[in-house]
Amino acid sequence: MRSTSPLTELHSLFGYLGKVEAEGRLRPVHCRFADVRILPGLLDELAPTQQRRITQVIESWGWVNRNGEWQSWSGAPQSDQERGPDTHPWLQLSAKQFARIHDRTEADGIIRQLMEQSSHALAHLAKAQLHKRLQTCLSTATELRLVGAQDRYEFVRLCLDFGDEFHRCEQLQPTWLSIRENGDSLAKLTSSWTEDLWAALRVMA
């Protein structure tokens, strides 16, 4: 990053970015804004007044992205210039802002979980390639009405085991129907899958 501001102003800004009060949540949460997997989505989703709070202190911000390329951010949009920078002591995010930032970091969270539980399955995939693939899998999970963290993780794991199109298996259609109409859990339903169904999935792998 490039800044000519005093250290006290940088410290104040980092305190502002490091604590988030999100609409609908009872307590503030810590924000790992310095993590370059989080930073791009965070900066993009902030309101112009919040972005302007940053540009008061930092002239430009740059980092190496997951593809090994230099990425930079240089400030708030020119619209809404009549409004000054945000003056809250820490970030105040709407439910929509928080959800969009969470969605952009979900794949990274699942990668971390996979590394802890089944790292051997990821050995042949580059991190950037894996992240892109997981984003596609999670988009499919959303289309299938999978909303819980455990169900979305289970869906990704099944994609890695049996291919990203495994959900199209004809024998799985009752599963997706049950989830869509009854709100059932994928993690629970997999325990009742027959050996014939698992064999059909192995053919797709």
Residue 82 confidence (pLDDT) above 60: no
Segment 123-180, tens digit of pLDDT: 677 778 888 899 999 999 999 999 999 999 999 999 999 999 999 999 999 999 999 9
Under 8 Å CB-to-CB from 28, ≥6 apart: which residues?
Answer: 19, 20, 21, 90
pLDDT tens digit string along 92-106?
A: 999 999 999 988 889
Q: What are phi and psi of 132, to 5 degrees?
A: -65, -40
> In which band, very low, low, confident or very high, does the pLDDT at 16 lie, cut at 50, 70 and 90?
very high
* pLDDT reported for residue 75: 72
Helix (H) or strand (E) holding 63: strand 61-64
Q: Say whether pLDDT at 77 is over 70.
A: no
- Report how far residue 158's alpha carbon sits from residue 201's, in angstroms, rounded to the nearest whole number: 9
Residue 168: CB atoms within 10 A of its CB come to 12
* Spatial distance between the Cα atoms of 97 and 105, rounded to a whole number of angstroms: 13
